[in-house]
Structure 1
């Protein structure tokens, strides 16, 4: 089985027709579902948050079978993720796609769990410490996209689970957990 980095690729990835949008509705629906799952799994495994439609993304081509997804297929698969709430277009021209391998509310739950597991109730951390600190190593939070993190933190703030405070710069932004 071929791998992309350490990620094992599914069998369909070696089947040339899956690199061309299928004309039969039922087949296309299955194809889109398989690609959605693959993109989410791959992005989670490699902590990828943004896919550029025009950029070289490892899943969009398979040199072993000499196949690549065309622009229409790439956009179809990413648009399907957007429809599912698992991605968002970052621009009107659909060139950049933010991949939400966890939905924002799920990220918020993960952050809350992280705070409880690490005894952070009534503790203060900077946003950067949450993203890159020792406590978050080995978790999905470590290295997460700052924009996604801020949206999840704002959701938690709206629920009264934490307070976000501003410092003199964005590097100084902090969070006080009140789990």
Structure 2
């Protein structure tokens, strides 16, 4: 089985037709589904939040079989993720895509569970501590995209589970969690 770093690639990754958009509807639906799962799994395992259509994203080419996805194919696969709510275009020209291997609601739930499991209710943390602090090392929160984190925190704030405090700079914004 081929690997990309420590990530095991699925068998279809070595099948040249999967790097070309398939004309038969049923085949294309299967192809799109496989690519959606691959993109989500890879991004989650590598903690990648942003995929650019122009970028040298490792999944979009396979040097072993000398195949690469066309611009159209990349856009089809990412648009399918957007349609499912698992990604969002970051610009109107569809050049960059924010990948949500967890939806914002799921991130909010993850944060709340993390806070409860680690006894952090009624404590204040900075946004940067959540992204890169000792408490979150080894968790899904380590290295989380700041925009995704802020959206999840705002959702928790709307539900009365957190209060966001503005700091003098973006680096010292704080959050107080309540159970």
Report SS of the residue matched to 1:64: coil
CA apart distance, 1:73 = 0.2
Aligned to 1:168: 168
After superposition, residues 6-25 of structure 1 pair within 5 angstroms as 6-25=6-25
Matched, 1:127 2:135: no
Q: TM-score if structure 1 supplies the norm length?
A: 0.99
RMSD across aligned C-alpha pairs, in angstroms? Answer: 0.4
Matched, 1:155 2:146: no
Aligned to 1:64: 64
Using the alignment, how far apart are the partners of 2:170 and 2:54 within structure 1?
A: 30
Deviation beyond 3 Å, 4+ runs, structure 1: none
Structure 1, unaligned stretches of length 5 or more? none
Task: Provide the aligned length of Structure 1 versus Structure 2.
Answer: 179
CA apart distance, 1:87 = 0.1
Report SS of the residue matched to 2:144: coil
Using the alignment, how far apart are the partners of 1:32 and 1:156 within structure 2?
A: 33
The superposition leaves residues 78-111 of structure 1 with CA deviations (integer Å, 9 ceiling, x where unpaired) of: 0000000000000000000000000000000000
Q: TM-score if structure 2 supplies the norm length?
A: 0.99
CA apart distance, 1:30 = 0.1
